[in-house]
Amino acid sequence: MSLMARIGFAPRARTTPARYVQTRAVGRPAPRNSPLDRLWRWIVRAVYQRPAMSAFAHDIISAPLPVAVGTEIINICNADCSFCGYGKGEDGKGGDPRVKQKLNPEVFTHALKLFDAAGGGVFTLSPILGEVSVHPRWLDMVREARSFPNIKGVSCFTNGILLDRFGSDNILKSGLTNISFSTSLTGREAYNRLYGVDKYDTVVNNLFDLLETNKRLGRPVHITVLLRIDKPFAKFFASDIYERLCSLMNTRDIEILDDAWDGYKGLIKQEALPIGHKFKDNYPDKSVPCYAMFRKLEIMLDGTIQACACRIEPELWGGNILDHKTLHEAWRDPGLERLRNDWFEGKLQDCCKTCEHYIPYTNLLRPTEPKRVARHALGRVKRAVLGSTRQPIQF
């Protein structure tokens, strides 16, 4: 048992629950342009330092640019996670019917050019189903992205298995600003059962080498640890490995997925989940379009634009990024617009009807709730005083 647990004090990691606060709307929203509306919109954008941030529902559906932009990098994985759709179903293609391939370099460079020309920000470089570090040139691609003046950061997800091949110093100095590290830290048996490969010791060593090196370098990268562990969580909170984690990172950056599991259209069975966990329910009322339609421009390996970043869904494929000359044009791709308009008219794609990931697009307004705006403003003041350089995460 850890020292913190023995003395009755152990800061707790965050859990990610299945339910989200729902902000409902009926029908297509009207524009909001009264003097008070314009004032509130100005306050929100000033506090978050995002000049195009949406403050009302109509702002979201009429936004000229997406909230986030990213590409897949590869659709090959080096793990066989029990809870993931990768490799499941007939011929292993139930979750992804495509052939195994890497991101088309022309697609990547074109996407970066459009993103940079539109003002840039943090670019996401992660597979939907796959592992970023399986691509042998992933750090070169990070460097290419950061060579554009308006691309201020790059984020990715990783299972950490291959990180020792690249070296923590190289990874942390590549230009990455955000790394989300998915793993299980309650022992070899649980890890092997959930991640399907006997790499527990390698992953633990890679994780702590990354965290210790990041601390030594002055924390240039914001690292989040995403845990998939059995219940009850108390055993983990009392462990030495949790105490070691807390010595190297803020507990707010340690997240445990809790009863928020995707069944991937029936590909994942209950026994495949961590012990004691449950699937998310399929939300019964989907009259409000899903946030995925209005949040991120997800660019796939061949340049296809998909209206969702959660799964591989051919029903949600639009045009190709290579056919667009601006990011605004790509965001208003006719295929995407058809899917958005169909949803407002009550015509959902079959994959959306059964998807447990659904969240109404109006939830994108949660950061604009007055208490959250006030909290963020105070946080900015605090960071200014403490000199923090923490980067925002975009998924």
Q: What is the pLDDT of residue 391?
A: 47
Instruction: Kindly state the average pLDDT of the residues 261-282.
Output: 94
Q: Which pair of tokens denotes residue 205?
A: 């060593």
Which one has a higher pLDDT value, 222 or 386? Answer: 222
| pLDDT, tens digit (0-9, with 9 covering 90-100), for 182-213 | 999 999 999 999 999 999 999 999 999 999 99
Q: What is the pLDDT of residue 19?
A: 44
| pLDDT, tens digit (0-9, with 9 covering 90-100), for 59-118 | 999 999 999 999 999 999 999 999 999 999 999 999 999 999 999 999 999 999 999 999
Q: pLDDT category, 384, cuts 50, 70, 90?
A: confident
Q: Which pair of tokens denotes residue 337?
A: 């617009």
Q: What is the pLDDT of residue 392?
A: 44
Strand order in the sheet with 68-71: 14-16, 254-257, 222-227, 178-183, 151-158, 121-125, 68-71, 296-299, 304-306, 317-320
Instruction: Kindly state the average pLDDT of the residues 223-244.
Output: 96
HSE (CB half, 13 Å, CA atoms) of 367? 17
| pLDDT, tens digit (0-9, with 9 covering 90-100), for 347-359 | 999 999 999 999 9
Rounded Cα gap, residues 376 and 368, in angstroms? 10
Q: What is the pLDDT of residue 17?
A: 52
Contact 110, 330 (CB under 8 A): no
Residue 1, pLDDT > 80, answer no
Residue 171, pLDDT > 60, answer yes
Residue 145, pLDDT > 80, answer yes
DSSP string, 233-290: THHHHTSHHHHHHHHHS-GGGEEEE-S-B--TTTTS-GGGSPTT--BPP--S---SPB
Instruction: Kindly state the average pLDDT of the residues 224-253.
Output: 96
Q: What is the pLDDT of residue 16?
A: 55
Instruction: Kindly state the average pLDDT of the residues 161-178.
Output: 98
Instruction: Kindly state the average pLDDT of the residues 37-49.
Output: 96
Residue 11, pLDDT > 60, answer no
Rounded Cα gap, residues 137 and 158, in angstroms? 15
Q: pLDDT category, 14, cuts 50, 70, 90?
A: low
Q: pLDDT category, 180, cuts 50, 70, 90?
A: very high
With residue 223 as reference, give the H or E element that holds it.
strand 222-227
Give the least confident one: 2-6, 144-148, 243-247.
2-6
DSSP string, 330-354: HHT-HHHHHHHHHHHTT---HHHHT
| pLDDT, tens digit (0-9, with 9 covering 90-100), for 117-132 | 999 999 999 999 999 9
Residue 25, pLDDT > 80, answer no
Residue 5, pLDDT > 50, answer no
> Percentage of the chain surpassing pLDDT 70?
91
Query: Which residue type does 335 have?
Result: G
Residue 8, pLDDT > 50, answer no
Average pLDDT, the chain: 92
